[in-house]
Amino acid sequence: MKFKFFLIIGIFLISFSFVFALSNKSFKKVCSQDLSKDYSFISFNESPTDSMYPTINKNSIATIEKVTKDTELKKGDIVSFKAPKWLGCVWVHRIINIKEDKQGIYYITKGDNNWLPDFWQKTRKEDVYYKVTDILWKKSKS
């Protein structure tokens, strides 16, 4: 009985979080960035979540390199990648595992501050735009 109660509450909270995130202006703005272009830096000042905290906070700027077919991606790398089609945006999370199936190699990603991995998809190399090479912090405003 208690399990069903907590399951229903959990599903409600997850659903509410997605509705809030999708209606958040900051979230839409970040998701509209075109990361198919060549950049050297990415700013997180309009990041809609703290999923990579404390590694990346909202005052962080990261140096990045474009991922090509020759780029080596390994466990522990922080990458920007195409999120699920139903979200239609780019996410920045850490590779926590590398697996292979009939379609080839894929990456399991997770935000450092998230409890669970990104369960919705197998991130393929062709969906990875950039690899974070260094993280710089701006001094927080007091």
pLDDT tens digit sequence for 92-139: 899 999 999 999 999 999 999 999 998 777 899 998 999 999 888 755
Could you tell me if 29 and 44 are in contact, meaning their C-beta atoms sit under 8 angstroms apart? no
Distance, CA of 49 to CA of 97 (rounded, Å): 22
Q: Which two tokens stand for residue 89?
A: 């945006």
* Bridge partner list, 94: 78, 110
Could you tell me if 78 and 138 are in contact, meaning their C-beta atoms sit under 8 angstroms apart? no
Distance, CA of 36 to CA of 39 (rounded, Å): 9
pLDDT tens digit sequence for 7-44: 666 565 565 444 444 434 333 334 445 555 565 766 66
Q: Which of 65, 67, 21 is nearest to 47 (CA)?
A: 21
All domains in the chain, ordered by first residue: 2-137 (2.10.109.10)
